Amino acid sequence: MSEPTPKTMGQQFGRRSWAEPWKIKMVEPLAVTTREQREKALQEAGYNTFLLKSEDVYIDLLTDSGTSAMSDRQWAGLMLGDEAYAGSRNFYRLEAAIQKVYGYKYIVPTHQGRGAEHLISQAVIKKGQIVPGNMYFTTTRLHQELAGGIFQDVIIDEAHDPANLHPFKGNVDLDKVQAIIDKHGAENIAYISVAGTVNMAGGQPISMANIKALRALCDRYGVKIYLDATRMMENAFFIQQREEGYAEKSIAEIVREFCSYTDAAWMSAKKDNLVNIGGWLAVNDWELFEELRNLVVVYEGLHTYGGLAGRDMEAMAIGIEESVDDQHIRSRVGQVLYLGELLLHWGIPIVQPIGGHAIFLDAKAFYPHLKQVEFPAQTLAAELYLDSGIRSMERGIVSAGRDPKTGDHYYPKLELTRLTIPRRVYTQAHMDVVAEAVKAVYDARESTRGLKMVYEPKYLRFFQARFERL
Ligand SMILES: *Cc1c(COP(=O)(O)O)cnc(C)c1O
């Protein structure tokens, strides 16, 4: 294939300067703190960035979920909320936007992504069925398991290697799918769970060729393909940049084509769709739609609002139209690439290729002198906050938790600190500040000491654990 390598991708941004395709109409002042203040705030937060108060944070890269900036059109749309209990006009606007952009027939709104995952898992999965997927996502897999499904990872092996430069590390390994069909029979597969840009693999895309081939394989056995469309726009951008035959196609065309190879989708609109809350389900099968419409009234709300206010659906409809704009997505992913390439230029170890929504710092390579039980990624997140008030997230041994059988920590291969970029919130100047902060922390790496855990909650400990300096 004649795809540019990920390394050269960002150069198109380097040849001539580029800028964010929006200007700022309203500002939210940021807290600029002193090192002394940050030292105090971090101690009070037990060296855990989840426990920091937002007002003590300067640049907040904890997550891109629900943190997007809405446009003036979206804010204006809030005023058009039709808060009727049934048949709100904003629902029909949302339905039309999803049909147009993603191409599915029937739409069910939900309060956020996991609401949609809950409904579709309950509607489709029979106890004991296998759900093959291109790597798991936390809430997705949990809902599949709660419905009695058994998740099996079918992503290509390259996805598990942070240094592998494969341009489509989100691809499904068709041999792994075939093996599951051969072993268990197609009737024991609930559906194939495909995610556009795989979050847990570092925001890595799946190619059009791969989804087409998967469609052909599944058609032979009558197996359905359902899409986690949460970051599908970012995936479409990577197809446009890297896959032969797509350079001249618009993001809108690529998204429509990709979705046409799938049977249904669920969505966390808090990501790609540029709203602070919302989600949806979209299917082509009438009977499945009827079942989902039955379930939504039990768990979310009436099928024309699904747990959302009318105004939220209006903002989402507008956000969907904006999210598919080529200039928007080029700038969104371009900002991530810009930051990543600055760091690479300085020799700072990050997961490659650079993904669509975040930079993952390799904390093991940062702090080779720290043992994994001294929490290198947690330490790195703490040091970054101390240096500049930048908030990041640990994705390493703390997030991995403990083995319930032995009581020992899980020791994940990847010990990462994630810098997640919210959409349309920060400028390139903020990216420069972030890169310089990471470099400062990197330069001081040899004298950095690790942490010890002094409080550990029983479940999902990374949210509330507390630490002290060693
Ligand atoms: C965030 C996310 C979800 C869950 O959506 P929520 O809106 O947080 O409930 C599902 N899948 C992926 C890939 C996500 O990133």
Among the atoms of ligand 1, which is closest to the Cα of residue 65? Answer: 1
pLDDT tens digits, 155-188: 999 998 888 999 999 999 999 999 999 999 999 9
- The pLDDT value given to residue 459: 81
- Asked if the bond preceding 353 is cis, omega within 30° of 0, the reply is yes
For residues 332-336, average pLDDT: 95
Report the DSSP pairing between strands 393-395 and 390-391: unpaired
- The pLDDT value given to residue 15: 60
Residue 6 has pLDDT above 60, yes or no: no
For residues 241-259, average pLDDT: 98
- The pLDDT value given to residue 14: 52
Ligand 1 center from residue 393 Cα (angstroms): 16
Residue nearest to atom 4 of ligand 1 (CA): 113
Among the atoms of ligand 1, which is closest to the Cα of residue 116? Answer: 9
Q: Mean of the per-residue pLDDT values for the chain?
A: 94
Ligand 1 center from residue 464 Cα (angstroms): 20
Which residue of the set 56, 60, 228, 272 is catalytic?
228
Lowest mean pLDDT, pick from 107-116, 142-151, 197-206, 296-305: 197-206
Lowest mean pLDDT, pick from 12-16, 138-142, 411-415, 428-432: 12-16
Residue of 199, 281, 395 to test ligand 1 pocket, by largest number of atoms within 8 Å of CB: 199
Answer yes or no: 242 catalytic.
Answer: no
Among the atoms of ligand 1, which is closest to the Cα of residue 112? Answer: 7
For residues 283-306, average pLDDT: 97
Answer yes or no: 85 catalytic.
Answer: yes
CB-based contact 74:318 (threshold 8 Å): yes
- The pLDDT value given to residue 458: 84
Residue 73 has pLDDT above 50, yes or no: yes
- Which among 442, 116, 29 has a CA at the least distance from the CA of 295? 116
Among the atoms of ligand 1, which is closest to the Cα of residue 270? Answer: 7
- Which among 43, 58, 50 has a CA at the least distance from the CA of 399? 50
- Residues sharing a CB contact under 8 Å with residue 50, sequence separation 6 or more, in sequence order: 62, 393, 462, 463, 464
For residues 368-374, average pLDDT: 97
Ligand 1 center from residue 289 Cα (angstroms): 21
* More confident position, 402 or 318: 318
Residue of 135, 136, 137 to test ligand 1 pocket, by largest number of atoms within 8 Å of CB: 137
Predicted confidence band of residue 392 (pLDDT cuts 50, 70, 90): very high
Residue 78 has pLDDT above 60, yes or no: yes
Residue 366 has pLDDT above 80, yes or no: yes
Residue 462 to residues 180, 198, 343, 358, 360, Cα–Cα distance (Å): 33, 21, 26, 19, 17
Answer yes or no: 462 catalytic.
Answer: yes
Which residue of the set 91, 137, 366, 467 is catalytic?
137
- Neighbour count for residue 200 (Cβ, 10 Å): 19
pLDDT tens digits, 8-57: 444 545 567 778 999 999 999 998 999 999 999 999 999 999 999 999 99
Identify the residues whose C-beta falls under 6 Å from ligand 1.
Answer: 65, 112-114, 137, 139-140, 195, 199, 228, 230, 268, 270-271, 279
Answer yes or no: 228 catalytic.
Answer: yes
- The pLDDT value given to residue 199: 83
Residue nearest to atom 14 of ligand 1 (CA): 230
Element (H, E) at 455: strand 451-455
Residue nearest to atom 2 of ligand 1 (CA): 268
- The pLDDT value given to residue 329: 96
Answer yes or no: 137 catalytic.
Answer: yes
pLDDT tens digits, 112-158: 999 999 999 999 999 999 999 999 888 899 899 999 999 999 999 99
Q: Match 């606007």 to its residue by tokens.
A: 93
Ligand 1 center from residue 230 Cα (angstroms): 7
Per DSSP, the three-state class of 327 is helix
- Which among 442, 445, 446 has a CA at the least distance from the CA of 434? 442
Ligand 1 center from residue 193 Cα (angstroms): 14
Per DSSP, the three-state class of 468 is strand
Answer yes or no: 271 catalytic.
Answer: yes
Which residue of the set 8, 53, 85, 126 is catalytic?
85
Instruction: Enumerate domains of the chain plus CATH numbers.
Output: 9-60+326-469 (3.90.1150.10), 72-323 (3.40.640.10)
Amino acid at 152: Q
